[in-house]
Amino acid sequence: MASGVDARLLKSTKFPPEFNQKVDMQKVNIHVIKKWIASRISEILGNEDDVIIELCFALIEGARNPDIKSLQIQLTGFLEKDTATFCKELWKLLLSAQSSPQGVPKELLEAKKLELMQEKADADRSVDDTRRRRDEDDRRARDFSDIVSGKSTLAQSQYFERQFESGTSQALPEKIQVQIWVPVPVQVAATQTRSTEWNESRRPPTTIAIHIA
């Protein structure tokens, strides 16, 4: 029973209309509700206060039909300005839970569904990223093999260009005999060729084609 002070507060406090509806706690999955209560109170306080959390548990489990108005009055000294919001959220969840066959509020089911969907999306994205990295590593390995064996001139050019752009390099023989075709103005000659030795530490112009001799 509320004390004289509580009775005056109950009369002077304006409660939302939802508080006039009764909740049958036997129709509610109490474990789900307790988990929400602990999480919400910790969020409000900025830390996990077991004393307040257990007090709230006791107030809603103390009777088959708990008195949410009295609960709000008793929690005001702890949750202060957030008490009314917390109690309204709690009561809406309890009303929803007693209407559910599983005793679980529809709002929490939807939130859990969204959480699972997000977890799946994150997992799929991680798998895609891993696959892309693996494909890129495989492609670089093939390009490198073609360069060393002299099978692909195009692979050579593309490989070195990607290495220079990414700022990474893969170990190559100390010296590679290559041929470089250097474009010259049309009025001088269509092309000009010359042979040279290329060392990996020296970056060639990106406009030239490199061929393994």
Domain positions in the chain are 4-104, 119-212
Phi–psi pair at 195, nearest 5 degrees: -100, 150
**What pLDDT score was predicted for residue 147?**
63
The helix, strand and coil proportions of the chain, stated in percent and rounded to the nearest 5, come to 60, 10, 30
**What pLDDT score was predicted for residue 152?**
55
CB 27 within 8 A of CB 64: no
**What pLDDT score was predicted for residue 187?**
44
The CATH code for residues 4-104 is 1.20.1390.10
Q: pLDDT in tens for each of the 213 residues of the chain?
A: 455 557 888 888 899 999 999 999 999 999 999 999 999 999 999 998 999 999 999 999 989 999 999 999 999 999 999 999 999 999 999 999 999 888 989 888 876 666 666 767 777 788 888 888 888 888 877 776 766 665 555 555 666 666 656 665 554 444 444 444 444 444 434 444 444 444 444 444 444 444 444
Distances (CA, A) of 67 to 55, 154, 196: 14, 79, 91
**Axis crossing angle, helix 83-98 with helix 68-79, rounded to the nearest 10:** 140
Give the global pTM: 0.53
**What pLDDT score was predicted for residue 151?**
56
d(Cα 87, Cα 105) in Å, to the nearest integer? 15
**What pLDDT score was predicted for residue 168?**
56
**What pLDDT score was predicted for residue 111?**
65
- Please, which residues have CB within 8 angstroms of residue 182's CB and are 6 or more apart in sequence? 191, 192, 193, 194, 208
